[in-house]
Amino acid sequence: MAEAPALIGLDVGTTGVKAIVFDPQGTPRGTGFREYGIICDEPAQAEQDPRLVMRLTLEALREAVATSGIHTAAALGLSVQGDAIIPLDAHMQSVHPAILGMDYRSAPEAEWCTANIGARKLFDLTGMRPHAINSIVKALWLKRRRPEAWRRTAHIVTYADYILAELGAEPVIDWTMASRTMAFGLKERSWSRETLAALDIDPVLLSRAEPSAKVIGTLSREVAAAVGLSPGTRLATGGHDQTCAAVGAGMIGTGLGLLSAGTADVLSTASATPLVSDAIFDGYYPCYLHAAPGLYFTFALNHIGGILLRWYRDTFGGSEVSEARARGRDPYDAMLASMPEGPSPLMILPHFNGSGNPVCDMQSKGAILGLSLATTRGDMVKAILESLSFELRINLEYLRNAGVEVRELRTVGGGARSPAGLRIRADILGRPVATLQVREAACLGAAVLAGTAAGVYDSLQEGVGRTVRTAAVYEPVNERSKMYESRLAVYRDVYPTLRTLNARI
């Protein structure tokens, strides 16, 4: 009996790669995962060996195929970390390590862009204002600070076009990744010659840009044999990991938001029109292309998310962790079980690594307010979760005032595993918060885009309809929401009150 063709989603993140084999109904059939590190030998540096990432990607893919028992795939799609660049020579070999999005050594180049081109002009052209995170700013840094590597550079690629080329296709970049570089015209859907000319970067260095969900080649025979797939698997353009996760969560229209609750909190949503107003610019929100046709994408980023709970665990939760492990419990479950009923008496400003949108004050510091001799560890844990939700609520209100309404949320990531945490989210945000049956939304989104490209689905809408299913839905409880409204009024004053004092500290 012939195998049913499957779909494969690859999610190449900052510290690990996951591969999942799905059937056409979106059921995971096999999974592979590999971790890798980041080179941080000097301040603000964040680099990676792309050859290592590629080798581990193939290992993860081979593991996923082996555990699925399926060896015929209709198509493979990619979800990748944003903003990293990899300089390659004429033979497609790297001449310098990958420079990751979180590498901020290019901050002076971002300032140069603001002073010499103009932040508002670049935002109007590309939907991205100058920042060290941006791919093309990193290319400018490479040109200025690493001239020997730059002289050998014939291609500047992201992980999207790099991995597609290594798998056997042309080095094609999808529109979602291209439009995150600050070098891609939102209106023209092509590389912005005006921007590249101002930076003195030749457009020939950049890959051809195509929309998501387009077949651009097939898996090479060598790679197919190495990972256990039969020849002929089509390779399709996917997208930036946030846009792929949005597809995998069913966010292919307006009015829906996706909360990726991991180390950081990322709240993303879509719009039918470009988001380039003064309010969006002033709030430091990006505007780039969604993987879903005809939509634009933006997100609010809070650098501190689940990592704040981990900081509490490692700093103050030693006895809780030891006791939980002795009883065979997850330490986080034990910490959450200690939370009091009702709002915490504490107020935490979670700016432990600066603030996120809409203020983006990197000099802001964290604070814990309201401490007394009656304070418990449960008070601290609940205040942490509340503070993260207060930040999200402020972003939702800011976006609504800017014309972007989010009526309900879906969530993925580690934070999606905690019913207690999700109830706090729903009560403070005042909106339903749903979890998903397939939590690896980025892998699923990449697979659905590949299935759409290969004709497994007649449209992206059909693919999402067949594969994306919600699990639990947490509705806000009116009584608790009212209590949090009064707490929110206090929270709004915390950052403005402490801003000057924190700068002095």
Instruction: Name 110's Cβ contacts closer than 8 Å, sequence gap at least 6.
Output: 130, 131, 132, 134, 137
Report helix, strand or coil for 260. Answer: strand
Residue 244, token pair as written in the block: 């792929």
Task: Provide the Cα torsion 329, 330, 332, 335; round to 10°.
Answer: 10
From CA 9, how far away is CA 239, in angstroms rounded? 11
CA distances from 436 to 160, 260, 265, 390 (A): 26, 12, 17, 23
Residue 3, token pair as written in the block: 């195998």
pLDDT of 4: 64
DSSP 111-156: HHHHHHT-HHHHHHHHS----TTSHHHHHHHHHHH-HHHHHH-SEE
Write down how long the chain is.
505
Express each pLDDT in 353-397 by its tens digit: 889 999 999 889 999 999 999 999 999 999 999 999 999 999 999
From CA 161, how far away is CA 103, in angstroms rounded? 20
From CA 9, how far away is CA 73, in angstroms rounded? 11
Write out the H or E segment, with its range, that includes residue 29: strand 28-35
Q: How far is CA 481 from the centre of its chain?
A: 29
Instruction: Name 124's Cβ contacts closer than 8 Å, sequence gap at least 6.
Output: 276
Pick the closest to residue 239 from 452, 442, 467 (CA basis). 442
Pick the closest to residue 426 from 479, 366, 489 (CA basis). 479
Strand partners, 410: 258, 434
- Distance linking the first and last C-alpha atoms of the chain: 70
Strand partners, 34: 17
CA distances from 290 to 179, 274, 280, 388 (A): 9, 11, 17, 26
Residue 118, judged by CB atoms within 10 A of its CB (0-12, 13-18, 19+), counts as middle
Rounded to a whole number, what is the largest CA-CA distance in the chain?
72
Q: How many CB atoms sit inside 10 A of residue 30's CB?
A: 19
Which amino acid is located at 419 in the chain?
P
Pick the closest to residue 168 from 86, 227, 120 (CA basis). 227
Q: How many CB atoms sit inside 10 A of residue 412's CB?
A: 24
3-state secondary structure 321-368: HHHHHHCCCCHHHHHHHCCCCCCCCCEEECCECECCCCCCCCCCCCEE
From CA 235, how far away is CA 243, in angstroms rounded? 18
Question: Which residues, given as ranges, of the chain have pLDDT below 70?
Answer: 1-4
pLDDT of 1: 41
Report helix, strand or coil for 251. Answer: coil
Phi-psi region of 127 (alpha: psi -120 to 50; beta: other; left: phi over 0): left
Write out the H or E segment, with its range, that includes residue 1: none
Express each pLDDT in 267-320 by its tens digit: 999 999 999 999 999 999 999 999 999 999 999 999 888 899 999 999 988 877
Residue 150, token pair as written in the block: 């730059």
Q: How far is CA 288 from the centre of its chain?
A: 13
pLDDT of 11: 97
Instruction: Name 183's Cβ contacts closer than 8 Å, sequence gap at least 6.
Output: 126, 135, 136, 191, 192, 195, 196, 199, 201, 206
Report helix, strand or coil for 308. Answer: helix
Residue 88 near residue 94 (C-beta atoms within 8 A): yes
